């Protein structure tokens, strides 16, 4: 199975029914760690302020359409990030002349993005060492 056929979910809360980051086909879902969607939103907003729909589309585009963020996951995550002071929101007009909320990364959010990216890199490295121990030994 190629990486384009893998599908991901975002695990947002420890609950029976969870908001999801879905894909067109729901047959091959993979749950990601809590906080992954937050990290992706923060990274997307590093490029500049934008509205929710554009955030979802940018995540989809930048993941080669592997990750698809559903509104039921995106907007609770945006509200959570506002509550933490990592992003701010202001009313504006979208490119298609509709009223929209535009989200902006705050200074606190930039610092948190650096922290979360470091944690992600450490976690990804640890998982890679477990999944590919032979490759790691051969490189030494």
Q: Which CATH class, in words, describes the domain spanning 3-139?
A: mainly alpha
From residue 99, alpha-carbon distances to 51, 52, 53, 66, 94 in Å are: 10, 12, 12, 29, 6
For 8-37, what is the mean pLDDT?
A: 52
State if pTM tops 0.75. Answer: no
> Within 13 Å, how many C-alpha atoms sit on residue 28's CB side?
11
CB count, 10 Å around CB of 105?
22
pLDDT by residue (tens digit) across 71-98? 888 999 999 999 999 999 999 888 888 8
Domain positions in the chain are 3-139
* Structure tokens belonging to residue 37: 């969607």
Q: What is the mean pLDDT of residues 54-58?
A: 95
């Amino acid at each position: 199975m190629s990486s384009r056929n893998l599908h991901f979910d975002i695990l947002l809360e420890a609950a029976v029914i969870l908001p999801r980051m879905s894909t067109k086909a729901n047959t091959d879902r993979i749950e990601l760690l809590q906080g992954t969607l937050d990290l992706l939103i923060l990274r997307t907003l590093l490029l500049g302020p934008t509205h929710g729909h554009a955030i979802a589309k940018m995540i989809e585009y930048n993941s080669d359409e592997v990750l698809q963020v559903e509104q039921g996951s995106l907007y609770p995550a945006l509200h959570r990030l506002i509550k933490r002071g990592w992003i701010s929101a202001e009313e504006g007009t979208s490119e298609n002349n509709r009223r929209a909320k535009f989200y902006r990364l705050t200074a606190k959010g930039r610092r948190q993005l650096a922290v979360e990216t470091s944690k992600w890199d450490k976690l990804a490295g640890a998982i890679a060492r477990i999944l590919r121990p032979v490759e790691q030994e051969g490189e030494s």
